[in-house]
Structure 1
Amino acid sequence: MKDFPSCFGENAVQVSDFSSSSSNKSAHNLVTSVYQCRFGRRSCLITVGWSKNLMGQGFSVGIDDNRDQCLCKIDVKPWLFSKRKGLKTVEAYSSKIDIYWDLSSAKFGSGPEPYEDFFVAIVSNQKMILLLGDMPKEAYKKTVATHSSSSSAHLFSKREHIYGKKIFNTKVRFLNNGQLHDLVVECDTVGVDEPCLVIRVDNKNVMQVKRLQWKFRGNHTILVDGIAVEVFWDVHNWLFSSSHGNAVFMFKSNLMSDQDSPSLSWSWSSQRALDTRTQNHGLSLVLYAWKSE
């Protein structure tokens, strides 16, 4: 699998591609999620990208086949007062695909992705292929679609850009139908003799790394929702780079065997291969954390 499906072209990025250049500032307001779905007997990848700029929030939907060939893509440009609900129709697998959305009452946090009072629904042959949001009744009523267990979608990869001075936060579900958690990364590197990295889930400290100058890369396992979540971090740029580069954090909730687990010398750009091996086992959340000036 590509780092992001081919439908997203210039928005498809690798961790190693990011620097502190001004051209990367727009990436701060980008969240990309990849879902494994089924159209009948066929498997596909659906990538949903949320973006934000001065005009408001927008999103894109791309559909790839299991050979990473782009089947179709739609863009809903950022809006201020319009396009908060709608329908677009495309074709894939010689079938009509309807993409519905209703964000008229959506609630947003600091990022571009809504977390409440919205839905995005992808329907083919009157079957619900992918349903996002917390308004399933409204979505099924609007689409007149039926649910099939064979077409259930699985989120296996999410990448998000977050920023702050010393506190970085987002929301995440480590299980597809699990609880929505508040995830916080805290690290003060300015004017501090011994920087310390702290990670909290729902205001509870689950991980702390002291002597960060010596442990700027590493991994640790935490427990969330009764399952093991492995945390990898790389804060080298925060500590030793003269530019304002980003730190990278990855949270993996899966059932990998020991031989599949990445080593400490693992390159972050090798996420591509890791996603391919483990897409059926759990969520891979990658956070690019940028220090605000």
Structure 2
Amino acid sequence: MQDQSHSHICSLIPMHKLVPQSATTFVYQAKLAKILCNVYLTWCKRLTNHDLTITIDKPSKENYYTCKIDLKNTQCWGKKGLKSFDIVEGTRVDIFWDFRQAKFSSTSSTSSSSEPCSDYYVALVHGEEAVLLVGDLKSDAYKRTRSRPCSDEATLLHKKENVCGKRLFCTKAMLNYGSKRGEHDIVIENSLSGPGDPEMWISIEGTVVIRIMNLNWRFRGNETIMVNNVPMEIFWDVHDWLFSSPESGHGIGLFIFKLGTLEEEANATDFDSRNFSDFCCNGTKHDHVVDSPKNTSDFCHFLYAWKVE
């Protein structure tokens, strides 16, 4: 896929108004009171704020429910809580959380990730069942919520991540979603200055799987690789890394990692500019309710890579 026209991904966004920050959104589909809803968990870290926003969408409805948790709260009681609401009349849904002992992995010598790596839980409970449970303290969550595992647990649809870097961009992607191996380390490295032509490398678990030479001509494209004998499509669009003007602000590259191929999703990059801006700036609701995936290969990891100097 070699389209040399400027993509709508970044060109429609007022870049000078955007401020890079660490943000990761997980989009789940859950059944609440027999209604399929999209549940968004957005971990967002700014210079002065660090929070988790949980948003529940109802299809064909304008209203939605939001719960915001301050992860920077220095008071222990502020890191454990409960919020309840009615998804439909007379049907209560509870959100429980505990971040009192949560640990965050370091992304650099001076900062840590927006999402905890251990010692926490977030539970969405309906009808004595934990419809959605994230975190490693599952036993504590079931005990506190007096719930049991749900027979129809939530499905992870997408992971959308916002990262900043100069030459290196690191992330973790569920390349074999549903297996015991979990997430894999991915590193994107670029060489955009120097005597030679600009290049880009994409590595998975320390092995280079894609090398793009003459990046100024191949700034947009896709390739299929094999991961654990399963095909995976990697799509990239780094036009603004190379051609954005200084006054436009930070150049943003888009990467999509998807099991299978993108042949049936030719319009995968036709994002609404307002939704993209909402995600990058606010880390809030930014998607429409999507249909239930046909299989686990429909899971996608979207990586928005901000190139800063």
Q: Normalising to structure 2: TM-score of the pair?
A: 0.79
Q: How does 1:182-197 map to 2 (within 5 A)?
A: 182-191=185-194, 193-197=196-200
Cα gap change, 1:176 to 1:55, in 2 (>3 Å) = farther
Bigger drift between 50-59 and 215-224 goes to 50-59
Q: Indicate if the aligned counterparts of 2:99 and 2:119 stay in contact, CA closer than 8 A.
A: yes
> 1:168 is paired with a residue of what secondary structure?
strand
Cα gap change, 1:85 to 1:15, in 2 (>3 Å) = farther
Cα gap change, 1:284 to 1:207, in 2 (>3 Å) = same
Q: What residue is the counterpart of 1:234 in the other structure?
A: 237
Cα gap change, 1:71 to 1:223, in 2 (>3 Å) = same
Structure 1 residue 158 displacement after superposition? 1.9
Structure 1 residue 218 displacement after superposition? 0.1
Q: What residue is the counterpart of 2:100 in the other structure?
A: 104
- Tell me the distance in 1 between the aligned counterparts of 2:37 and 2:236: 30
- Tell me the distance in 2 between the aligned counterparts of 1:285 and 1:96: 32
Cα gap change, 1:32 to 1:172, in 2 (>3 Å) = same
Deviations 1:42-69 (A, max 9, x none): 2111111111123452111111122253
Q: Indicate if the aligned counterparts of 1:157 and 1:279 stay in contact, CA closer than 8 A.
A: no
Structure 1 residue 229 displacement after superposition? 1.8
Q: What residue is the counterpart of 1:285 in the other structure?
A: 301
Number of residue pairs matched by the alignment: 273
Q: Indicate if the aligned counterparts of 1:116 and 1:134 stay in contact, CA closer than 8 A.
A: yes
Deviations 1:174-229 (A, max 9, x none): 30454121111111213352121111122122221111111110001122344222
* Residue 202 of structure 1, aligned match among 202, 205, 222: 205
Letter in 1 for 2:103: K
> 2:245 is paired with a residue of what secondary structure?
coil
Deviations 1:143-167 (A, max 9, x none): 11112222x1111112111111100
Q: What residue is the counterpart of 1:158 in the other structure?
A: 159
Cα gap change, 1:200 to 1:164, in 2 (>3 Å) = same
5+ residue gaps, structure 2: 1-8, 108-112, 277-285
Q: Indicate if the aligned counterparts of 2:170 and 2:187 stay in contact, CA closer than 8 A.
A: yes
Q: What residue is the counterpart of 2:266 in the other structure?
A: 262
Q: What residue is the counterpart of 1:216 in the other structure?
A: 219
Q: Normalising to structure 1: TM-score of the pair?
A: 0.83
- Tell me the distance in 2 between the aligned counterparts of 1:17 and 1:142: 47
Residues 1:93 and 2:96 aligned together: no
- Tell me the distance in 2 between the aligned counterparts of 1:167 and 1:198: 10
RMSD: 2.7
- Tell me the distance in 1 between the aligned counterparts of 2:256 and 2:289: 12
Q: Which has the higher contact order (CA 8 A, sep 6+)?
A: 2
Q: What residue is the counterpart of 1:141 in the other structure?
A: 143
Deviations 1:127-156 (A, max 9, x none): 111111122112111211112222x11111
Letter in 1 for 2:238: V
Letter in 2 for 1:190: S
Q: What residue is the counterpart of 1:8 in the other structure?
A: none
